[in-house]
Amino acid sequence: MTAASAVYYRLAMGLAERPWLAALFRNLGPFVPLIAAWQIVVLLRIWPRSFLPAPAAVPQAFAFLVTESDLPGQVLRTIYRVTAGGLAGLGLGVLLGAMVGTSRGLHEALRGLIDYLQAVGEIGWLPLFIIWSGFNDRTIILTVAYTVFFPVFFGTMAGILAVPRTLANSVLTLGGGRRHVLWEVLLPGALPAIITGFRVGMGFGWRTVILAEMLIAQLGLGVMMFEARSFFRVDWILVGMVVAGVLWLVTDRFVLLPLESKTIQRWGVQVVER
Amino acid sequence: MADSRAIHRHDHTAREAVLPEDAAKILFDGVTFEYIDAQTGERLRAIDGLTAQIRENEFFCILGPSGCGKSTLLYLVAGLLKPTQGKILVGGRVVKGPGADRGLVFQEYALLPWRTVRENVALGLKIRGVSREERDAVARRFIHLVGLDGFERKYPHELSGGMRQRVAVARTLANSPDVMLMDEPFAAVDAQTRAVLQEELTRIWAQSRLTVVFVTHNVDEAIFLGDRVLIMTPRPARVHSVIPIDIPREERSWAHLDRDPRFAALRGRIGDVMRNLGDGSASNHDRG
């Protein structure tokens, strides 16, 4: 009892001194009951072990895949694809979003088409992309780019439309032209919305890259997970799920979210506590 | 309809009577502005054949009831809006669009939230392609002029309303315009700050070769600041009258003016006009 309370005390003190550690615990908190429930289900032997291995089997399988198979190489390939596709989607989304956001004519002309293309979705295009581009990285990158494009496009457009008109007017009365209005006012003004769009898009992009790899690639996290199915290695599939989820969480929490908060803060908008 | 024809005839005679065009720094020549109301789709006339002239280096106040089209008039001079009829000449040239020669200080500051005070003040110079060192030097000078030394690296949201408006004034001045247009710039700050800003603006203007056009709905502010005050009618706006303010500049401080009989007389006279024009909000004892 005293030992337990001493541990608790030291833990609490440690957390108070290190806010990032406290944040880590807060974020990991919900995983504890989830894993516990999983362990209980396994102990109750509702399904055979081969259907649902114990939680402890996952780190074991992870160690095996890292040492005996080329898991890091597969993951790097996936990261490359999702990054390349994400950046392409970001570039295209900002470009078209800025064009549609600054021109009423283009807005009216393209809005319906873009809504339609979003509804079709990257999975609907995938067979066509394969025919056009083949079973290769380019097809996967294209599919991810398609996914990331829409949230970035809508973020850019909405962000630009939300910039107060007087800011553009102030640049005009200082002697600026349309180019200055775009670079000094509209794009910086839309930046928080663009980053939010990119965050949402990359969240979708991670799902897309795994799926596209399952259907197209010979290498990659999605491939590893899909192949494990034919060997009935549920533990390998679980490793893939954990790795994909953790990679996304790390990217989001340590890169995208701080970037978003920073722009929103600097831009003078009230930061909402998350 | 007959009424509006009569006004045009009146404008024509008024135009005959004005000085040659090059004698005025700013000339409103029968300016009419109409726009389509976004909600009703109706065609509305905000300004109706307005003719007036503003001299070089003059501090010219435009006074009128709220919503009478005062801001529209400034936007027309700035070139952000185009007159439906008539023309505006600045320095003898017809206004065709916005330009750096006519700086505009907006009521809501219009500073870039993602730029520091220094970057905001230097914005016009940056647009013109001036080098970073020179920009910084000029910005520092104008930040000093408006009394904001030490705030160079702050962002607008870290400043009070009065400080933001100082930054906006510094930004306009740093761009060295011929004409500074000011759209109720002190309407959103508290009374004390406003009095200080009014005195500082007069000081800055006296040191410069600027022509200032200052729009306000506040009688005291117009008398305190202006060489002349143009009173506008309610919509559609026309010139009601132009009143010279004959109080010498050196006697214009708030400490003295409150007891000055000339100030009281002007305030009474202009206040009466404003009340007859139907603006209940014009108050004699309100500086803002």
Mean pLDDT for the stretch of residues A69-76: 90
Closest to B215 (Cα-Cα) out of B200, B231, B199, B202: B231
The Cα–Cα gap between B47 and B191 comes to 30
Residue B236 pLDDT level (bands cut at 50, 70, 90): confident
Residue B288 pLDDT level (bands cut at 50, 70, 90): very low
At B20 the pLDDT is 53
- Nearest CB to B80; choose among A172, A267, A268: A172
First to last CA, chain B: 37
Mean pLDDT for the stretch of residues A36-56: 88
- What CA dihedral angle connects A108, A113, A115 and A116, to 10 degrees? 150
Mean pLDDT for the stretch of residues A27-54: 87
Chain-chain contact of B78 with A188 (C-beta, under 8 angstroms): no
pLDDT in tens, B121-136: 999 999 999 999 999 9
DSSP A269: P
At A202 the pLDDT is 95
At A142 the pLDDT is 95
Closest to B121 (Cα-Cα) out of B143, B149, B150: B143
At B11 the pLDDT is 42
Establish how many alpha carbons lie within 13 A of residue A139's alpha carbon, considering only the half-sphere containing its beta carbon. 22
At A14 the pLDDT is 74
At B19 the pLDDT is 52
Q: What is the CATH T-level fold of the domain B2-101+216-276, as seen in this structure?
A: Rossmann fold (3.40.50)
Compute the 3-state secondary structure of chain A and give helix, strand, coil in percent, each to the nearest 5.
85, 0, 15
Main-chain phi, psi angles of B186, to 5 degrees: -105, 15
A192 conformational bin, left if phi > 0, alpha if psi -120 to 50, beta if neither: alpha
H or E element in which residue B34 lies? strand B26-36
Interhelix angle A187-216/A104-133, nearest 10 degrees: 20
Q: What CATH superfamily is the domain A60-266?
A: MetI-like (1.10.3720.10)
Residue B285 pLDDT level (bands cut at 50, 70, 90): very low
Mean pLDDT for the stretch of residues B182-203: 89
CB A43 within 8 A of CB A227: no
Specify the higher pLDDT residue, B249 or A91: A91
At B8 the pLDDT is 40
pLDDT in tens, B43-79: 989 999 999 999 999 999 999 887 778 889 999 999 9
Specify the higher pLDDT residue, A110 or B281: A110
At B22 the pLDDT is 53
Neighbour-count burial of A7, counting CB atoms closer than 10 A to its CB (0-12 exposed, 13-18 middle, 19+ buried) = exposed
pLDDT surpassing 70 at residue A269:
no
Residues of A in contact with B114 (CB under 8 A): 188-189, 191, 263, 266-268
Mean pLDDT of all residues belonging to chain A: 88
C-alpha distances (whole Å) from B105 to each of A174, A193, B91, B117, B234 are: 10, 28, 20, 15, 23
Residues of A in contact with B120 (CB under 8 A): none
Q: Which residue has the tokens 């910039």?
A: A163
What three-state secondary structure class fits A174?
coil
Q: What angle do CA A74, A76, A77 make, to 5 degrees?
A: 65
Nearby residues of A192 by Cβ (< 8 Å), 6 or more positions away: A159, A260, A263, A264, A267, A269
Mean pLDDT for the stretch of residues A217-246: 91
Q: Which residue of B has its CA nearest to A192?
A: B114
Q: Which ipTM did the prediction report?
A: 0.83
Closest to A67 (Cα-Cα) out of A196, A269, A239: A239
pLDDT in tens, B18-38: 455 457 889 999 999 999 988
Residues of A in contact with B99 (CB under 8 A): 173, 175
Residue B112 pLDDT level (bands cut at 50, 70, 90): very high
Residues of B in contact with A172 (CB under 8 A): 79-80, 98
Q: CA Rg, chain B, in Å?
A: 19
At A26 the pLDDT is 78
Domain boundaries, chain B: 2-101+216-276
The Cα–Cα gap between B188 and B172 comes to 18
Residue type, A153: F
Chain-chain contact of B112 with A188 (C-beta, under 8 angstroms): yes
Residues of A in contact with B95 (CB under 8 A): none
At A7 the pLDDT is 76
Q: Which of B98-102, B108-112, B136-140, B234-238 has the lowest mean pLDDT?
A: B234-238
Residue B16 pLDDT level (bands cut at 50, 70, 90): very low
Domain boundaries, chain A: 60-266
Q: Which residue has the tokens 């005293």?
A: A2
Chain-chain contact of B80 with A173 (C-beta, under 8 angstroms): yes
H or E element in which residue B285 lies? none
pLDDT surpassing 60 at residue A233:
yes
Alpha helices in chain B (DSSP H): 2-17, 70-78, 117-121, 123-127, 132-145, 161-174, 191-207, 219-225, 254-257, 261-276
Query: Nearest C-alpha of chain B: how many angstroms from A273?
Result: 19
Q: Residue by residue, what is the 3-state secondary structure of B75-110? A: HHHHCCCCCCEEEEEECCEECCCCCCCEEEECCCCC
Residue B286 pLDDT level (bands cut at 50, 70, 90): very low
pLDDT surpassing 90 at residue B177:
yes
Q: Which residue of A has its CA nearest to B105?
A: A170
* CB pairs < 8 Å spanning A and B: 70
The Cα–Cα gap between A32 and A24 comes to 13
Residue A254 pLDDT level (bands cut at 50, 70, 90): confident
Q: Which two tokens stand for residue A256?
A: 């995208």
Mean pLDDT of all residues belonging to chain B: 85
Write out the DSSP string of B124-155.
HHHHTT--HHHHHHHHHHHHHHTT-TT-TT--
At B67 the pLDDT is 76
Give Cα B9 distance to the centre of its chain.
28
Q: Which residue of B has its CA nearest to A168?
A: B110
CB B211 within 8 A of CB B60: yes
Q: Which residue of B has its CA nearest to A262?
A: B114
At B29 the pLDDT is 92
Residue A45 pLDDT level (bands cut at 50, 70, 90): confident
Mean pLDDT for the stretch of residues A212-224: 91
Q: Which two tokens stand for residue B98?
A: 């916005």
